[in-house]
């Protein structure tokens, strides 16, 4: 393509100088067809609209992925889907495209900028990971239970030699949860690592490691370590790279197994889900040793310590004094204890999930689940339904659809989008005075009430008021049979 200055020169020679095409071609040293094209044809600017093509733009897949990405932008970065997770979810819906096609679309959706972290010019010593050494850390994620979001504190233990991971979902990060989680993972592993490296967790460390002093562990953690026979090791402050294997595994498990948030019955249910995923994950080939993770784990088993014959009980004892209302504070929550005010001092035994209160004479006054076992955050259904009302097609494949009660999802998941919108409007109006759980429990009663209100406000155009005809009847004609 010629520059505009060259095009203008050709036009001038042709129109003002009246040169022939051959003369222009020889004068400027260009091809005859090129001279003809620019000399005699009009060249006006045209709007160039480049329409993108391909299955992501011509079929429904692009819209589905866009809706997912918009939903994920409202969440914390660690809770968003990964490209691989999106690809797997699309595959279950019948997507036949390649993973690369999906990645190109997502990159284009994000303005086509590849966010590649620059390599830092800082050399670090490569750490050697002998068998039977473990790293432990907590990672926070969430799940949906009883129609509410709940925070899950996942305790992870990794064996860097084989790159094996074990995970125990817990309601908190206190000492009881920490020790119970370790004990449960030892049982899953079928042995005990010789050394366990931990961060400066408050559940295990009183004073972190300093320049000239070793870390100081809690007595309870040291007693636990002595019973199982492992050597505890604490990282230096602000040195997460010293346990980089477990740090990376926290993100790996979160993005691959618990994003989006799974629907669970209880923590035991989530434990089974994670154990199944991690067992299957051991079929992968180790990134460096080129054998399966399961084979390396079996090799590592011969270096583990044996489990003790005697079970180790996990609990914490405290004393408490009730106020005049018979209340004591457990986990920052006031709990009413029957006859609690009758005693000057109460004995409290805390387990990872439950607690019991005992009188000075050994009588169990109260036992219950710990308050954090029942904590949850409401799912913002009103905001979600309003988004669905604007884009009703998203209902079928939204990340929030599995969180709806079954009968409500079936009620709004109808092919007719006009009816779907009307039903969404009705649900939004109910959320002003009811929780989603209440709507589910009273679903048929609320529907009947809505039907009655519609019938009352509806008047048939051909309904006849016979009382008006009776009033027109003459008294003399009564009983005569004549109208």
pLDDT for position 119: 42
The yes-or-no verdict on residue 482 having pLDDT over 50 is: no
**pLDDT (mean) for 340-347:** 88
| Residues 290-323: tens digit of each pLDDT | 899 999 999 999 888 889 888 999 999 999 999 9
Comparing 115-129, 289-303, 341-355, the range with the smallest average pLDDT is 115-129
**pLDDT (mean) for 166-185:** 95
The answer to whether the beta carbons of residues 90 and 66 sit under 8 Å apart is: no
pLDDT for position 385: 92
pLDDT for position 472: 62
pLDDT for position 26: 82
**pLDDT (mean) for 244-267:** 90
The pTM (predicted TM-score) of the whole model is 0.71
| Residues 46-70: tens digit of each pLDDT | 555 566 777 887 788 888 888 888 8
The yes-or-no verdict on residue 459 having pLDDT over 80 is: no
pLDDT for position 369: 93
The yes-or-no verdict on residue 180 having pLDDT over 90 is: yes
pLDDT for position 199: 84
**pLDDT (mean) for 109-130:** 52
pLDDT for position 45: 54
Comparing 157-161, 202-206, 241-245, the range with the smallest average pLDDT is 241-245
pLDDT classification of 480: cutoffs 50, 70, 90: very low
Comparing 32-36, 87-91, 381-385, the range with the smallest average pLDDT is 32-36
What are the backbone angles phi and psi of residue 356, rounded to the nearest 5°? -140, 145
Q: Where are the domains of the chain?
A: 4-40, 55-109, 133-301, 316-374, 379-456
The yes-or-no verdict on residue 187 having pLDDT over 80 is: yes
| Residues 193-202: tens digit of each pLDDT | 999 999 888 8
Higher pLDDT, 186 or 461: 186
pLDDT for position 53: 73
pLDDT for position 10: 80
CA distance 232 to 220: 13
The answer to whether the beta carbons of residues 364 and 357 sit under 8 Å apart is: yes
Q: Smallest Cα–Cα separation from 70: which of 105, 110, 104? A: 110
pLDDT for position 151: 93
Most confident of 38-42, 61-65, 448-452: 61-65
**pLDDT (mean) for 203-207:** 86
**pLDDT (mean) for 21-40:** 80
pLDDT classification of 469: cutoffs 50, 70, 90: low
The yes-or-no verdict on residue 210 having pLDDT over 90 is: no
Q: Which CATH code is given to the segment(s) 316-374?
A: 2.30.30
**pLDDT (mean) for 183-202:** 92
The yes-or-no verdict on residue 345 having pLDDT over 80 is: yes
Write the Ramachandran bin of 29: left for phi over 0, alpha for psi from -120 to 50, otherwise beta. Answer: left
| Residues 407-447: tens digit of each pLDDT | 899 999 888 999 999 999 999 999 988 888 888 888 888 88
Comparing 63-72, 120-129, 332-341, 449-458, the range with the smallest average pLDDT is 120-129
The class level of CATH for 133-301 reads alpha beta
CA distance 317 to 327: 18
């Amino acid at each position: 393509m010629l520059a505009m200055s060259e095009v203008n020169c050709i036009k001038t020679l042709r129109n003002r100088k009246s040169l022939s095409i051959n003369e222009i071609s020889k004068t400027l040293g260009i091809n005859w067809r090129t001279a003809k094209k620019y000399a005699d044809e009009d060249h006006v600017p045209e709007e160039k609209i480049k329409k993108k093509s391909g299955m992501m733009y011509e079929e429904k897949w692009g819209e589905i992925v866009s809706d997912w990405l918009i939903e994920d932008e409202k969440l914390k970065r660690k809770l968003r889907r990964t490209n691989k997770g999106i690809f797997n979810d699309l595959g279950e819906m019948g997507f036949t495209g390649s993973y690369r096609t999906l990645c190109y679309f997502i990159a284009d959706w994000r303005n086509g900028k590849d966010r590649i972290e620059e390599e830092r010019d800082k050399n670090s010593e490569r750490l050697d990971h002998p068998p039977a050494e473990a790293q432990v850390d907590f990672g926070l994620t969430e799940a949906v239970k009883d129609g509410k979001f709940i925070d899950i504190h996942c305790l992870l233990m990794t064996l860097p030699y084989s790159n094996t991971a074990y995970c125990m979902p817990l309601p908190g990060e206190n000492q009881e949860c920490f020790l119970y989680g370790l004990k449960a993972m030892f049982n899953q592993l079928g042995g005990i690592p010789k050394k366990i490296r931990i961060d400066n967790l408050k559940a295990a460390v009183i004073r972190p490691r300093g320049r000239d002093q070793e870390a100081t562990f809690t007595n309870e953690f040291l007693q636990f370590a002595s019973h199982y026979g492992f050597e505890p090791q604490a990282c230096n402050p602000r040195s997460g790279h010293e346990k980089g294997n477990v740090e990376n595994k926290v993100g790996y498990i979160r993005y691959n197994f618990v994003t989006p948030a799974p629907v669970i019955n209880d923590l035991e249910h989530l434990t089974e889900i994670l154990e199944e995923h991690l067992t299957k994950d051991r079929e992968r080939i180790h990134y460096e040793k080129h054998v399966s993770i399961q084979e390396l784990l079996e090799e590592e088993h011969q270096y583990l310590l044996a489990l003790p014959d005697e079970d180790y009980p996990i609990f914490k004892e405290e004393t408490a004094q009730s106020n005049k209302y018979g209340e004591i504070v457990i986990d920052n929550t006031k709990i009413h204890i029957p006859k609690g005010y009758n005693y000057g001092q109460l004995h409290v035994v805390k387990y990872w999930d439950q607690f019991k209160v005992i009188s000075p004479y050994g009588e169990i006054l109260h036992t219950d689940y710990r308050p954090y076992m029942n904590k949850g955050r409401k799912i913002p259904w009103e905001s979600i339904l309003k988004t669905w009302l604007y884009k009703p097609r998203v209902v079928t494949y939204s990340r929030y659809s599995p969180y709806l009660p079954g009968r409500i999802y079936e009620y709004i998941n109808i092919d007719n989008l006009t009816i779907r919108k009307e039903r969404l409007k009705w649900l939004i109006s109910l959320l002003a005075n009811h929780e989603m759980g209440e709507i589910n429990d009273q679903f048929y009663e609320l529907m009947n009430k809505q039907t009655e209100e519609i019938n009352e406000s509806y008047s048939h155009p051909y309904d006849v008021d016979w009382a008006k005809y009776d009033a027109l009847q003459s008294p003399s004609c009564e009983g005569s049979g004549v109208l």
